[in-house]
Structure 1
Amino acid sequence: MKSDQTGTIRLAAGRVVRETFEVTTADGVRIFVATKYVPGMENKQAVLLLHPGNGLGHIYWDLPLSGYSVMDYLAQHSFRVFALDSRGFGDSEHPQRVTYDGCSQDVEAVVKHIQRQYAFGKVNLIAMSHGATVASYFVGKNQDNIERLVLIGYQYKKRAGGEKAQQAVVDLVNKGVFYVHEKPSLEPGPEIYDSPPEVLQLYHDLIKQKNPTRTITIRTDEAGRDAGAANIPHLRVPTLIIRGDHDINSQDDNLQCFRDIEAREKAYLEIGNAGHSSAREKTRMVLFRAILGWLTD
């Protein structure tokens, strides 16, 4: 990057390159990882993105629509960006049962690979919804490996959908149903507050094309979820909590999470006119810039 005479930062010109690789976890599960960077641009930090609980996995962070890829945005700002598919999602292996401990092992395997293969001492972690729960579980035991943490739409102690929805998942698992197909929709709903029609259409089309399945057994792992929440008061890692003001899944839960965090360096941001899936909203650039500011502070 270069500065002009006004002091404004101008991004170095360059094409964002995408590569993929796989790692194997300690318990033998194959995990898919995508990475993006700009060749010739010095990557001062590594960022690992953890997706929400949708079947498309890491694609949530890399929508093929101009201005909607978090991976491209951060890569263009000198970060080496990684995004994994948790077990049970996307292109990673789909074991019959998925737990938060297992998903934490996915993160551990990828972080170790980044440190070993790319020579980064620590990794920044950005996590959304399901990914934020995984992050809370992982970081509690691996704080020395994480530079900074961003939790978006984190369901700290509140359960999305309530007891009725939770029981429906339990009933399916008891019947031997461990995976369900993603349901495409062109309508805004609990996840989305104000997203452009072309974004809703793109997401709908991606789901129709890939016909992805996602694990539901993770929803039955209350012990793992509670273990992650129990780590929050002991976090020393600089942590940013973000939620959309129309996110019905987190509500006041995120503010309580912020208050409970032990870290001296922490922040709380509520984005206006945004729902749970804030990376797909019209106001997404508030999210993008907040993440960038937190990582470069």
Structure 2
Amino acid sequence: MNYRHIYHAGNIGDVLKHVVLAAVIEYLKRKPAAFRVIDTHAGIGLYDLSSEEARKTGEWQGGIGRILAAAALMPGGVRPILAPWLRIVAEVNGIDTSSPSGDALPEMAAEALIAYPGSPEIARKLLRRQDRLTLTELHARDFKTLSGRYAGDFQTKVIELDGWLALGSFLPPKERRGVVLIDPSFEDTREFTKLAENLIKGWRRWESGTYIAWYPIKDMAAVRRFHKRLVESGLRNILAVSLSAGRPTADGVMKSSGLLIVNPPWTLEDDLKRALPWLASTLATGAGAGWELEKLVDE
């Protein structure tokens, strides 16, 4: 396994994934009962955008960089949806987020961005004291960094493990409430098949959990086969969403990605209908930019 997310941190795929992850966690917090977040392909938690790896690709500039540059023009209806995520981005960059309003966006220039939070850090900062976080990471170097970051944190458990095994080992969690984020590297051409098989396996072990599965969009035929497999599997309540900066291509920088969400919060679809048009127009770089939202299977 050679994939390392530092090359892609903060890109358009992260924007979509982290907006949705934060929205799901905020919804879970509406009830006092504890929940668990399970991140199967966790990475290192926090990414240094001044590092050689991040500067080599500069993908964050087309993602979180564009969002911050346009934040002052963000419509009022979009702000409360993006605020939980953007406040964490500001916090890891040393910006004061102690606003009296939870929907207020901290002032932060894209040029001041030196770090970007991965999904573990976003989840951890959104947890309440009673909630728990389980992180699995197989890459030895990244596991060492991740485990060091959360050493001594009683709410966070870090395990050196193939993320696919987590779906069999940790479900259902004892809290019986929560969300599973599945964000594989897609280095393997069989990744869509593995994603479908393991998502189905996980759901059968814990049918009431929320699942967020991320995938790049380069081959639309592969995406359609993936969706078809899940529709035919018997899974219920499936929402598919995509965000594109331009027309997807098989080679080059990823311009489009998608999420398949099983058991989404009932509020999520309407939230995304408000946020996605602004995100798509802000991140657009050429023909084919846009967004899609489709309920693949009803409850």
TM category, shorter: 0.3 to 0.5
Instruction: Give the TM-score normalised by the residue count of structure 2.
Output: 0.32
Higher helix proportion: 2
Instruction: Give the TM-score normalised by the residue count of structure 1.
Output: 0.32
